[in-house]
């Protein structure tokens, strides 16, 4: 693929992602039109966990599908791999990209509120990291 072809694809994809966010976003917001992260926050409250955990589970569904697709292409080819999925792989990729936008938004919101994030490398739920927003870069620092 040439650079120009990639840029053309990205431009087209950007428009499709916005349309997808506008369409599916209504479902995620439900009744609160202004809160785009409401679905994840409400889900976290229901299961006694954080919104970021709920969002990661939604993301993992698509990551698993993409990984399965890649694995299947090695033995059956791209066309067969796409036929075996309940949804074309391009749809999974678009959903994952939009979830990454939402993850970035959630992290930004948590940073603005100076909220602690669970550290995925540590299984003990008592170990958290906090976002230091005093510098230009966000640094994760363990809380003792």
Chain segment 9-38, per-residue pLDDT in tens: 999 999 999 988 888 877 766 665 678 888
pLDDT at 62 over 70: yes
The residue with greater pLDDT, 19 or 130, is 19
**Across the beta sheet with 128-132, what order do the strands follow?**
117-118, 128-132, 139-142
Give Dmax (Cα) for the chain: 51
The tens digit of pLDDT for each residue in 44-55 reads 999 999 999 999
- pTM score above 0.85: no
pLDDT at 143 over 80: no
Give the pLDDT band (50/70/90) at residue 59: very high
pLDDT at 100 over 90: yes
What's the confidence (pLDDT) of residue 129? 44
DSSP-derived 3-state class of residue 50: coil
What's the confidence (pLDDT) of residue 125? 43
Report the mean per-residue pLDDT for the chain. 79
What's the confidence (pLDDT) of residue 119? 47
What's the confidence (pLDDT) of residue 35? 83
CB 118 within 8 A of CB 44: no
Residue whose pair of structure tokens reads 């409250």 in the numeric block: 45
Structure tokens of 83? 């036929």
What's the confidence (pLDDT) of residue 117? 55
DSSP letters, 114-140, are: T--EE-TT---TT-EEEEE-SSSS-EE
What's the confidence (pLDDT) of residue 80? 79
CB 51 within 8 A of CB 43: yes
Chain centroid offset of residue 54 CA: 10
CB 50 within 8 A of CB 61: no
Kindly report the backbone phi and psi dihedral angles of residue 93, in degrees, each rounded to the nearest multiple of 5, phi listed first: -65, -45
What's the confidence (pLDDT) of residue 85? 76
């Amino acid at each position: 693929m040439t650079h120009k072809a990639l840029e053309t694809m990205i431009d087209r994809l950007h428009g499709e992602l916005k349309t997808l966010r506008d369409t599916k976003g209504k479902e995620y917001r439900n009744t609160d039109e202004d809160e785009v992260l409401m679905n994840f926050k409400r889900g976290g409250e229901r299961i006694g966990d954080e919104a970021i955990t709920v969002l990661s589970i939604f993301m993992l569904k698509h990551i698993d599908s993409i990984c399965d697709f890649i694995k299947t292409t090695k033995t059956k080819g791209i066309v067969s791999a796409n036929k075996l999925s309940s949804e074309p792989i391009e749809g999974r990729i678009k959903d994952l990209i939009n979830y990454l936008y939402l993850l970035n938004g959630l992290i930004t919101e948590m940073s603005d509120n100076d909220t602690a994030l669970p550290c995925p490398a540590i299984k003990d739920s008592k170990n958290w990291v906090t976002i230091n927003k005093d510098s230009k870069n966000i640094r994760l620092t363990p809380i003792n």
